């Protein structure tokens, strides 16, 4: 890699009393400047009213500059009582090779990017000191590599490996359950991807919740927590959601002020026009939050910088009160793919060995529920880990999992939907998942224990998808439902709807 950095340093007053030779001598004698640096570098100095530095290096010039700045501050402050007022990046060029040449043009913020084969030239101009001190250069390099990797990855079929499949079962229904619920008056569509559930549908969702909570969550020893449905955006910065899938988040705007006078014109326009002036509204609010995408980020945030006592491990907690919201654009369908849905999130934290044992226990309990209570035809598959998808990370998931000392990844639980066609050709519904994410989040949120390494995992239960999988296979005739399922609901309860004239 080659780096060429040109900066201008403005002092608290002009540098006219300092010579180029003096700065050259100070830098040449500074032992800390060369310590630990693998590679050659050259520093060119010019002094007038400002100090101008040019760093030509095989090493990260922005890191070198941080050392140079510290040396200059100490020398000029002590001898001349001059401090550094401002630093400007006039130009920064970086040359490096990527593993493969890009398949299409690559662009990133703050820089112009050019390629000759797999040789990348990054050119940055007119930035402030923050570009150097906040390590933007390294992140730009990593982002370019990631984008090229994604270009090759996008052309591949997603990794999917069948782990287990239930026996083939006789289907009692072959229609779209969401459409059937709509015809029966069980559900009403509020807007795209958002539904109102009338008593029968609400009852069925609550039955699914009862089964999930009583026969899995509490049975497995998870303890309940309650979180806010409104998340600070900074949480998703740590988990990767905000740059992995910002186009799927529902954002929350809070008023800039409650001052009545600031809102008077807006209110008057609404009263007169009976319309909402959205452009004016944008100027009155700030976007600092988002609605829950999944419950686990807030759980990790609540544990940020905490040390968990060993006798509390594995820590097993769950959340079931907040709704999740994900913008699906044109991808919504029925109640199984929606913008707003009801979800139970279970998070578990412990040693890697403990979590792998817990994973097997969780799978066995799910098998009991899906086989014995819901009596579904379903299967399990090893897939691209959800945390790689959410963070926008590309790569060979199969390879990444294989090289891990212990298993990390995501298992999808998929149900056959008869209305979509044959088992072999239709897309089965992912109605459940289970992930072990290693130290990704325990490291990001600095969650520790007294001794050893902590991993975490999660399993999300989508109640709408449980319901769709059940009704798609068993239909709406109570007499066709599994006997063990009927213990949770009486026939007459399913018939008590709202009568409209």
Which positions are catalytic?
A: 296, 326, 328, 337, 345, 412, 430, 433, 458, 465
Size (the chain), residues:
501
Q: Both tokens of residue 240?
A: 């990767």
Tell me how far apart the terminal alpha carbons of the chain are, to the nearest angstrom: 76
Distance of CA 301 to CAs 234, 346, 391, 398, Å? Answer: 10, 15, 17, 29
Q: Both tokens of residue 382?
A: 């090893």
User: 398, 383, 390, 459: which is closest to 428 by C-alpha?
Assistant: 383
Q: Would you tell me how many other CB atoms lie within 10 Å of the CB of residue 378?
A: 23
Contact in structure between 242 and 236 (CB atoms under 8 Å): yes
Beta strands in 416-454 (DSSP E): 429-438, 448-449
CA gap 234, 287 in Å, rounded: 12
CA gap 94, 141 in Å, rounded: 9
Beta bridge partners of 457: 348, 436
Q: Would you tell me how many other CB atoms lie within 10 Å of the CB of residue 113?
A: 18
CA gap 147, 177 in Å, rounded: 40
CA gap 439, 391 in Å, rounded: 15
CA gap 453, 447 in Å, rounded: 10
User: 338, 350, 266: which is closest to 311 by C-alpha?
Assistant: 350
**Structural element, H or E, at residue 51:** strand 51-57
| DSSP class of 108 | B
Which residues lie closer than 8 Å to 234 by C-beta, 6 or more apart?
none
Which residues lie closer than 8 Å to 228 by C-beta, 6 or more apart?
298, 322
3-class secondary-structure state, position 167: coil
Contact in structure between 107 and 144 (CB atoms under 8 Å): no
Long-range contacts of 427-432 (CB under 8 A, 24+ apart): 428/379, 429/336, 429/465, 429/468, 429/469, 429/472, 430/465, 431/336, 431/378, 431/462, 431/465, 431/466, 431/468, 431/469, 432/366, 432/459, 432/460, 432/461, 432/462, 432/465, 432/466
- Cite the DSSP H helix spans in 213-328: 233-239, 241-244, 260-273, 278-284, 296-302
CA gap 450, 259 in Å, rounded: 49
């Amino acid at each position: 890699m080659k780096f060429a950095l040109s900066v201008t340093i403005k002092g608290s007053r002009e540098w006219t009393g300092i010579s180029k030779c003096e700065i050259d001598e100070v830098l040449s004698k500074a032992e800390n400047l060369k310590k630990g640096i693998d590679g050659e570098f050259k520093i060119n100095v010019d002094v007038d009213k400002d100090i101008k530095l040019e760093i030509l290096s095989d090493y990260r010039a922005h890191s070198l500059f941080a050392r140079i700045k510290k040396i200059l501050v100490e020398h000029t402050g002590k001898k001349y009582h001059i401090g550094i007022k401002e630093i400007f990046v006039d130009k920064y060029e970086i040359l490096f090779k990527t593993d493969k040449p890009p398949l299409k043009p690559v662009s990133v913020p703050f820089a112009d990017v050019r390629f000759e084969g797999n040789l990348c030239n990054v050119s940055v101009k007119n930035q402030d000191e923050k570009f150097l001190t906040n390590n933007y250069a390294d992140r730009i390099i990593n982002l370019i590599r990631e984008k090229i990797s994604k270009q090759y990855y996008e052309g591949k079929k997603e990794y999917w490996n069948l782990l287990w499949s239930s026996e083939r079962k006789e289907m009692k229904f072959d229609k779209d359950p969401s459409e059937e619920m709509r015809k029966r008056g069980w559900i009403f569509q509020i807007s795209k991807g958002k539904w109102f559930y009338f008593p029968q549908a609400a009852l069925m969702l609550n039955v699914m919740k009862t089964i999930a909570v009583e026969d899995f969550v509490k049975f497995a020893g998870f303890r309940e927590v309650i979180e806010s449905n409104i998340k600070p955006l900074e949480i998703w910065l740590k988990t990767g959601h905000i740059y992995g899938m910002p186009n799927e988040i529902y954002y929350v705007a809070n008023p800039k002020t409650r001052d009545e006078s600031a809102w008077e014109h807006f209110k008057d326009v609404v009263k007169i026009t009976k319309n909402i002036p959205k452009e004016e509204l944008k100027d009155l609010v700030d976007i600092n939050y988002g609605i829950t995408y999944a419950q686990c980020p807030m759980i990790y945030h609540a544990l940020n910088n905490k040390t968990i006592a060993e006798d509390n491990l594995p820590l097993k907690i769950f959340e079931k009160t907040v709704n999740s919201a994900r913008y699906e654009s044109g991808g919504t369908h029925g109640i199984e793919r929606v913008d707003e849905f009801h979800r139970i999130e279970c998070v578990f934290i412990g040693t890697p060995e403990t979590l792998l044992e817990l994973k097997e226990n969780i799978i066995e309990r799910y098998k009991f529920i899906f086989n014995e209570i819901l009596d579904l035809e379903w299967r399990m598959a090893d897939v691209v880990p959800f945390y790689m998808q959410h963070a926008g990370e590309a790569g060979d998931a199969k390879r990444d999992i294989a090289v891990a000392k212990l298993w990390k990844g995501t298992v999808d639980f998929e149900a056959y939907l008869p209305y979509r066609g044959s088992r072999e050709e239709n897309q089965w519904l992912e109605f459940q998942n289970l992930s072990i994410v290693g130290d990704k989040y325990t490291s990001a949120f600095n969650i520790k224990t007294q001794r050893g390494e902590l991993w975490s995992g999660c399993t999300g239960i989508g109640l709408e998808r449980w319901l769709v999988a059940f009704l798609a296979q068993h239909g709406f005739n109570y007499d066709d439902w599994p006997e063990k399922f009927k213990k949770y609901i009486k026939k007459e309860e399913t018939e008590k709807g709202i009568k409209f004239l």
